[in-house]
Structure 1
Amino acid sequence: MGLDDITRRVSAAEIAAGRAPGSVTLIAVSKLQPPGRVEAVLAQGHAVYGENYVQEAQAKWPAWSAAHPGVSVHMIGPLQSNKARAAVALFDAIHTLDRVTLARKLAAQMAEQGRRPQVFVQVNTGDEPQKAGILADELPGFLALCAELELAPSGLMCIPPEGRDPVPHFRLLRRLAETHGLSGLSMGMSADFEAAIAEGATHVRVGSAIFGARAVG
């Protein structure tokens, strides 16, 4: 596998689902990958990357972004409230808005910095107590708070329960997004991105299938 293979599969999944070509954004998950692997994908012209850790992203992406104009870096991992300032400054999109305290911190930092990365609300579609995310029945109130804070989320994100059929979770996320007038659906990873595209994903997050297995993490 590799970037070319995954790009072809994304395009084929778009066609199979009757989606417009290029309607799905492929996020290459570069967290914990050796620099040489990421630089090879950058050299191929891929523009959208995903990171899980603010400190790791700070250490590498400013230089890479300067060398590759047009690159977009997305935060796809859990975000601590005390890293909100750095996240707003660094990332072009934040996929893991999952609680009220973080919403308030992000809103304050966007106002202070005059920078507005795209925001997705993470939904805990499996109602898993150990997993981050807004519960489906709490989403209306949370989105109302976001509106008060002028956060204006563009979509929703989910990580289906491990070992279970992801499709019902993708469908739930799509229904929730449609109900609330949100167009973005960040869902689907290496093992299930084609199913996610069939269910309406606008952003899929693929790491090892592009870069190879990570040594750690």
Structure 2
Amino acid sequence: MTMQAALDAIRARIDRALAASGRRPDAVALVAVSKTHPAERVAELLACGQLRFGENRVQEAQAKFPSLRERYPGLRLHLIGPLQTNKALDAVRVADVIETLDRPRLADAIARAAEMAGRLPELLVQVNIGDEPQKAGIARADAAGFIRDCRARFGGSVTGLMCIPPADDDPRPHFRALAELAAATGMRTLSMGMSGDFEAAIAEGATQVRVGSALFGSRPGIGQPLASVA
């Protein structure tokens, strides 16, 4: 399948999910998860009109995207992987959106980095919606207070929430819980849903979906698509 065909197929699925849930046709943005794929594959998708991309690692984003921005000034880069505090300055410099703000120490590091860099990306708070001990994200019990603190500190740059539901659970209750938290805290952006579950996320109010393997296929060195990952 060509990149254009893969992109058209995902957009058609998004459109069907939006129609089924009675939502506007333009209510969901697609973030193409390009982690581990080379810049050439990203450029193919950019040429098809896809402008939002997600990367897990700051170093990989730095290597791939600056030159692509020169050719495609409308490109928007989302950092969607766990962020170490010592990478905050690099993240603030390279990203348009950081989706993984999840602890006070990282908020401190981003604030310092933003002052040094003279810019502050859009920020999403990552919520550990399933309270899984091995997974990044602010605990559900602490999320509302943390969101309020981040809004007080960063103002309108904090626009929404992100989550990754437990792999073995029905994702819809988790997506619903994140949507309810967003409504309670005044967050307008909901980044939830990946290759294997984005239709369910759209039904529960997602405004961004993160799709990787369904667009790019298997990641280099991996035999099967990782639909549960992105």
Cα separation, 2, equivalents of 1:199 and 1:74: 22
TM-score for both structures, normalised by structure 2: 0.90
Structure 1 unaligned spans of 5+: none
Instruction: Give deviations 1:150-204, integer Å, cap 9, x for gaps.
Output: 2542111100001211001000000000001111100000000011001000010
Paired residues, number? 217
Structure 2 unaligned spans of 5+: 223-230
Is contact 1:123–1:136 with CA below 8 Å preserved after alignment?
yes
Is contact 2:54–2:79 with CA below 8 Å preserved after alignment?
yes
Aligned to 1:188: 193
Residue 67 to residue 213, structure 1, CA distance change in 2 (3 Å): same
- The correspondence of residues 178-217 of structure 1 with structure 2, limited to 5 A, is 178-216=183-221
Cα separation, 2, equivalents of 1:66 and 1:197: 32
Cα separation, 2, equivalents of 1:3 and 1:42: 11
Cα separation, 2, equivalents of 1:85 and 1:75: 13
Cα separation, 2, equivalents of 1:136 and 1:127: 7
State, as a whole percentage, how many aligned pairs show the same letter.
54
Aligned to 1:39: 43
Cα separation, 2, equivalents of 1:102 and 1:24: 28
Query: What is the CA distance between 1:132 and its match in structure 2?
Result: 0.9
1:167 aligns with 2:185: no
Q: Which 4+ runs in 1 deviate beyond 3 A?
A: none
Cα separation, 1, equivalents of 2:221 and 2:64: 17
- The correspondence of residues 4-23 of structure 1 with structure 2, limited to 5 A, is 4-23=8-27
Aligned AA for 2:207? Answer: T
Query: What is the CA distance between 1:114 and its match in structure 2?
Result: 2.5
- The correspondence of residues 50-69 of structure 1 with structure 2, limited to 5 A, is 50-69=54-73
Query: What is the CA distance between 1:10 and its match in structure 2?
Result: 0.9
Q: Which one has more relative contact order, counting CA pairs under 8 Å at least 6 apart?
A: 1
Is contact 2:39–2:65 with CA below 8 Å preserved after alignment?
no
Instruction: Give deviations 1:13-61, integer Å, cap 9, x for gaps.
Output: 1111111111101000000013332221111111000000000110110
Secondary structure at the aligned position of 2:138 is classed as: coil
Secondary structure at the aligned position of 1:128 is classed as: coil
Is contact 2:194–2:211 with CA below 8 Å preserved after alignment?
yes
1:149 aligns with 2:153: yes
Cα separation, 2, equivalents of 1:167 and 1:209: 20
**Aligned-residue CA RMSD in angstroms?**
1.3
